[in-house]
Amino acid sequence: MGKYQAYLDYKDSGVEWLGDIPISWIALPIKMVSKIFNGATPKSGVAPFWDGDIPWVTPADLGKSVSPYISKGSRSITAAGYNSCGVSLVPKNSIILASRAPIGTLGIASNDLCTNQGCKSLVVKDRFVPEFLYYVLLSSTEQLNLLGRGSTFLELSADDLGSYKIPSPSECEQQKIASFLDHETAKIDTLIDKQQQLIQLLKEKRQAVISHAVTKGLNPNAPMRDSGVEWLGEVPEHWVVKRLKHISPKVGVGLVINPSTYTKDEGVYFIFGGDVKEYYFDLSKTRRISPEDSDNLLPSRLNYRDLVSIRVGYPGITAVVTEELEGSNCASVIVIRRGEYNSDWLCAAMNVWVGRQQVELASYGAAQKQFNVADAIEFIFPVPPESEQDEIANFIDGSLQRFNTLSNKAEKQIELLKERRTALISAAVTGKIDVRHHVSRPSGNDTSEVSA
């Protein structure tokens, strides 16, 4: 932890995960510092039990919370619902812990609330600081999961949680550690947020650069003309506007009738919509189909340089079939066959607003958006000469590499900052660093304290 000092004297805590602790600290089971309450759920089909004034929190609500504090869940219960199931209303500053897999998501109640049976509520006793216990549990996720039991799903019992030993400094020291961590983690979170904003800006910039290339070309001095399509506006004078059915020799759909019956443990790749990403395929979890079945299912068999577009879920996201995928097959996706055009150019046109807005207009379905071949063949694109398509494709490839490099760098920085945050919390709550006399400086533009 670099600039932070250690305590002068340590002793063995007798607890494996804690190791040595400052000589003035003790290790106590959680049941000595808090009362533990189980949650419960009123019957779901009884309308008078639901949508009342009593906040009711579930593990899913804890997982969605971006703040350490939680005031309510996505649902609430009535007094009748509360009385029907023996749930406990716990006070403000109670620690709410998800006790079913994944165990360890948590929050601090910012008002009185109750929970379902997937949570345990820890009502902290006098002379113990709730925020300190929150940080201790935040650094205990791995250990708490090891205590989980069950064959269907892991669950942490109240007895096992109550017996779990945690560090216990003086109340004053707990408060100083919690205040230190509030300040330092807020600074780290700010840096993470800035990196996430950068990634979003890079994504938007990438889309803008590629959109301009496929709609206006690379020559800023090229004479322009009205495309004749209101939403498309002007295009280079020598370009033509075509429908997809006049660009590709055939637009079809992958296997849609019982594709699961063809799934095998080995064979060639069997592409589904979830395997298709913008400009590439994620083959890490791709299913397989036998080469014989793939060859017999010619309408959905994939050829090198075909385009595959997601039809259901995230419609319109498109990638170009690589040599590795030659002869593979696909299910429930749109297949745009290769033709007298540059596949990378058309892939880009599908992935930016030119194609994406047409997909959006053609999509239907409340639960999952999807679009059909009949709509896809009518999509309109501004088409440059083939030589210019090649130039635009090369430009897009370089742009993607540049933006991906910058985004990956930001993602790596986020990962390092998260690791730093986790390490700092663990070091502070276990006494590996002494923050009793630490003076928190204003964040400003100084990031040296939290640089990874």
Tens digit of pLDDT for each residue in 126-157? 989 999 999 999 999 999 999 999 878 889 99
- Both structure tokens of 438: 């630490």
Full DSSP string of 391-449: HHHHHHHHHHHHHHHHHHHHHHHHHHHHHHHHHHHHHHHTTSS--TT--PPP-TT--GG
Query: What are the residue ranges spanned by the domains of the chain?
Result: 26-168, 240-383
Global pTM value: 0.84
Confidence band of 66 (pLDDT split at 50, 70, 90)? confident
Confidence band of 1 (pLDDT split at 50, 70, 90)? low
Confidence band of 442 (pLDDT split at 50, 70, 90)? low
> Residues 6 or more apart from 448 whose CB is under 8 A from it?
none
Q: How far is 64 from 93, CA to CA, in rounded Å?
A: 19
Q: How far is 21 from 201, CA to CA, in rounded Å?
A: 45
Q: How far is 198 from 190, CA to CA, in rounded Å?
A: 12
- DSSP letter assigned to residue 222: -
pLDDT of residue 411 exceeding 90, the answer is yes
Confidence band of 440 (pLDDT split at 50, 70, 90)? low
Q: How many CA atoms lie within 13 A of 280 on its CB side?
A: 7
Mean pLDDT computed over every residue of the chain: 94
Q: What is the mean pLDDT of residues 429-445?
A: 77
Tens digit of pLDDT for each residue in 226-251? 999 999 999 999 999 999 999 999 99
What kind and span of H or E run contains 185? helix 171-216
Task: Tell me the fold of 240-383.
Answer: Adenine-n6-DNA-methyltransferase TaqI; Chain A, domain 2 (3.90.220)
Superfamily classification of domain 26-168: DNA methylase specificity domains (3.90.220.20)
- Both structure tokens of 145: 């999961």
Tens digit of pLDDT for each residue in 286-337? 999 999 999 999 999 999 999 999 999 999 999 999 999 999 999 999 999 9
Q: What is the per-residue pLDDT for 238?
A: 97
Tens digit of pLDDT for each residue in 330-349? 999 999 999 999 999 999 99
Q: How far is 76 from 290, CA to CA, in rounded Å?
A: 51
Q: Which of 272, 269, 225 is nearest to 253 (CA)?
A: 272
Q: Helices 343-351 and 386-429 meet at what angle, rounded to 10? A: 50
> Residues 6 or more apart from 83 whose CB is under 8 A from it?
none
How many beta carbons lie within 10 A of that of residue 46, not counting itself?
12
- The β-bridge partners of 26 are 168
Q: How many CA atoms lie within 13 A of 183 on its CB side?
A: 16
Burial of 33 from C-beta contacts in 10 A (0-12 / 13-18 / 19+)? buried
